[in-house]
Every structure is written in structure tokens, then in C-alpha cells.
Amino acid sequence: MKLYRIMAVSRRVFQDVVNDKRTLAMLFIAPIFAMTVFGLAFSGDVEDVNVIIVNQDQGFAPPMGNTTYLSKTIISHLDTKVVNIKYMDNPTTARQEVVDGKAYALILFPENFTENAVLKSRNSSYPDSAEIMIQGDDSITNIKNAILKTVSDAVSETMTDEGISPSLKIISDPVYGEDAEFIDFFVPGILAFVVFLLTTLLTLITFVGERSNGTLERVLASPVTEGEIVAGYALTFGLLGMIQVAFLLLVAIVFFNIMIVGNVLLAFLTVALLALVSLSLGILLSSMAKRPEQAIQFIPFVVLPTFLLSGIFWPIQAIPQWLRPLSYLVPPTYAVDACRAVMLKGWGLDRIWPDILILLIFAVLFLAMATWSLKRGKK
């Protein structure tokens, strides 16, 4: 490998993109377009959200009869399709689980929950002090809403069952994502999605062109090696990916007023890695097409799995369970997850490294396969 040859290839690819105003426009306008259109339109049903219940309710013991526990009735009414419940005793350790991302929310019933509720129902001048505390990861808006809805449904069902009408308060105390809106949740996803999609398609189409107009052959007849070609493309598209991210974030901050709490440089790193995976995929696919028109036919196979499975527009929790394993085979899944954790939760490399590592493995694997496919093409 010679650096000057890699640089020559990289520069050539860059000039090619920059010279073509249409491609350039697509690289920067498509993301904004996608952000605007999809950002307004999406929501999904949420299932299997991990929550932790800490029930400190001491119940209410009337002078005669058994002690009643209103909390237990409410818990029995929680929709277990939506939430996976785990019980814990210590609110501090439970909260830590949410902080660590092992659960999305902590639902806390305080000691005198039933007592306060019963007293209130007997005497309307009694203060509204029967409270359920929800401390959640609110950065993912539709999950937050799903948890809130499930709890309030359970509460109203309980009240109908028991024939009492205490005013129960649900207090939400977010761990992450205070004030997060759907657009905040959505932007990290769109970042990964557009970079993945555009990089894959652009390499696919340019490479099919290189194969059919003789330029690839001319370059292969020169001292430039297959590895140097792939490296040259990688350099340019990695860089372009980062420029796209910078531009998209700028627009998102200025016009959509999105929230970023973490270190954006980590988002850049993530997306650059994803770009490497994408361009390799483009080169691999290009070996299966003889003409650019044939390459176009691959688009659905690239777009659909990513679109549906990688958690871009709705969280993976909203994907049917049997499909979920496939999500983990789609590289953008990890980029979406990492970008979201960085931008909404402010997580650092110490927390997102598993995502980065997997992306890195994907990138190395795919780059090697792309190089191999170029070598095999000589056969």
C-alpha cells in the first residue's frame, strides 16, 4: 500500500462527487428532506419495555378486616405486553439500572400510597398525596409515553374495580431526555440512515460505472492495488459522511431546535464507521450488476431492511419480537443506537463502546470482502 496512490484515488472520488452538483445536492438535501417528512409522521406501538417496580406500599389496615394494597391491584392491571416487570426493593439500585440502560423506567409506590389514597377517597379535603413516581429514560419519547399510558390505564381500571375515586398522581421524574421530543429521538436515526443509504447507493452506482467504462480496468493495470482503491474510496466517503453529519446537525439545531447533550464528535466517529461499512456494501453489490440500471434494482434490498429493522424511526422494542434478531444483523442498528445514546443521553465512549466495536468489526469485515470481490473479478 502506498499512501500517494490511496490519496490519488480518494481525491479523484472526491472531485467526482463535487463536480456533480446533483449528487452534491442529494448528499445534503436528502437528509433534511427525510428529517422533515419522517420526523413529523412516525410513531409506533411499543412492546416489551423493561421496567422495574419498587413497591414500598405498607397498605392500609382498617380497624376491622384485612389490610388492602392498592398498589398490588394497580400492578396486576399493568399491561404485560407493553412492560416486562422486574421487582426490586432498593430504589437507589433500581434507579441505577435505568441509568445503566438495563431498564427504561423505575415505577415507585411510596410507603403510604394506599393509606393516602383511602383517606383521600373518604375525605375530599385530604391532600392529593397518593403518588406513583416514574423515573424513566424519557429520551425515547414513544417509550416514555407507552409507560405513562400503561400506568395510567392500570390506575383507572383499578379505580373502577375498587369503586373508589382517589386522585392518584403520577409523577414523572426523567433520568434522561428531559423535555425530549420525538424529533430529538428521530434525528440520530436519520443521521445513520441517510449516510448509510446515500453512501451505499453512491458507491454502488459509481462503481458500476467504473466497471463498465473501463476506468477500473485502467486503474487495475496501473500500480494501484485493489486494497488501495477500496482505501481511497473509504477515505472520501468516511469524510463525506462526517460532513453530512455536521451539516445535518447544524440544520437540526438551528431549525428544529433539537437537543444534544453528548459529545457530537462521537456521533461523527460512529457515522464515519458506518460509511465504511456502506461503501464496502456498495462495492460488493456493484460486482453483481453490469450496468447502472441493474444496480438500481438493489435499492429496495438495501433500503427496506434498514428502514424497518434498525430502530431508526421506531425503537427496536416496537419491532415484532420474531424479527428482532434480524435487527442485530443490520449494521445501521448499532450506529443508530450509539448516536442516540450520545446525543440524547450524553453517553461517552465508555458506555457506547460495544456499538462502536461491532461497527468496527463490520467495517473491517466488509472492507476486506470488498477488496476480495475486486480481486475475484479478475478471474
Strand pairing report for 131-136 and 83-88: unpaired
Binding interface with other proteins (CB under 8 A):
2, 4-5, 7-9, 11-12, 15-16, 19-20, 209, 212-215, 217-224, 378-379
CB of 287 to other proteins, least distance (A): 14
- Residue 23 CB, shortest distance to other proteins, in Å, is 8
CA nearest to 17, candidates 183, 240, 212: 240
Nearest in space to 70 (alpha carbons), one of 158, 131, 132, 150: 158
In angstroms, what is the minimal distance from the CB of 353 to other proteins? 37
Helices 182-212/299-309 angle, 10° precision:
160
| Class of residue 37 by CB neighbours under 10 A (exposed 0-12, middle 13-18, buried 19+) | exposed
For other proteins, the closer CB: 4 or 322: 4
Q: Minimum distance from CB of 275 to other proteins (Å)?
A: 20
Residue whose CB is less far from other proteins, 64 or 221: 221
The least CB distance from residue 212 to other proteins, in Å, is: 7
Our CB check for other proteins shows the closer of 169 and 218 to be 218
Adjacent-strand bridge partners of 131: 169
Work out how close the CB of 14 gets to other proteins at its nearest, in angstroms, rounded to a whole number.
Answer: 11
Give dist(CA 103, CA 85) in Å, integer: 10
Cβ proximity to other proteins: between 220 and 246 the closer is: 220
Cβ atoms of 169 and 109 within 8 Å: the answer is no
The 3-state DSSP class for residue 67 equals coil
186 versus 237: smaller Cβ distance to other proteins: 237
Rounded-to-integer distance, Cα 207 and Cα 375, Å: 14
- From CA 114, how far away is CA 100, in angstroms rounded? 31
Q: Of the two residues 195 and 374, which places its CB atom closer to other proteins in the complex?
A: 374
Determine how many CB atoms are found less than 10 A away from the CB of residue 186.
26
For the bound state, the minimum distance from the C-beta of residue 228 to other proteins, rounded and expressed in Å, comes to 9
- Closer to other proteins by Cβ: residue 50 or 212: 212
Cβ-based neighbours of 364, under 8 Å, separated by 6 or more: none
